[in-house]
Amino acid sequence: MTEEEQGVVTEFKNKLPVFSEVWNKYLETEIVDDEDEEYINLYSFAQEFSEFVITLYQKNKTDELKVAFYEIEQLANSDSEYISNVALVGFIEGILMLRQHKGIPLEAFDEWLGVSSREFWYGMHDFFTTRSTE
């Protein structure tokens, strides 16, 4: 991971320490040798975090969900185009797709979505919905 990516990971782990254990288990299973480590990036992190967010929702952990979506919104508004893209495509789109497979209503996360996240959330939903009906 780059220094910029590592900074994001550290921030998320500091704000949601319970996720540290999830991330560490992921790394233990994915990194067998030094070559494996180069394939771990912020999108890998976003995928694991998206699954974590779904679990938080299923367990009704609203305080943690508030923190999670606040942090994602901060990334979405980053000056770094890469970080902003990861926030929307990695985190928000990941959660959007997973929630559909788990039967979670589209509006379930509305109270926690920030302005940028909400716009992307519903834009992606509309894109996939329109595309699948054409």
Q: What is the pLDDT of residues 7-58, one digit of tens each?
A: 999 999 999 999 988 888 888 887 666 666 667 788 889 999 999 999 999 9
Compute the half-sphere exposure of residue 75: CA atoms within 13 Å on the CB side of its CA: 29
Q: What pLDDT shows up at residue 33?
A: 65
Question: Domain boundaries in the chain?
Answer: 3-133
Under 8 Å CB-to-CB from 3, ≥6 apart: which residues? none
**pTM listed for this prediction:** 0.86
Compute the half-sphere exposure of residue 72: CA atoms within 13 Å on the CB side of its CA: 33
DSSP strand E in 12-101: where? none
Least confident of 31-35, 53-57, 64-68, 115-119: 31-35
Tokens of 96: 């959007």
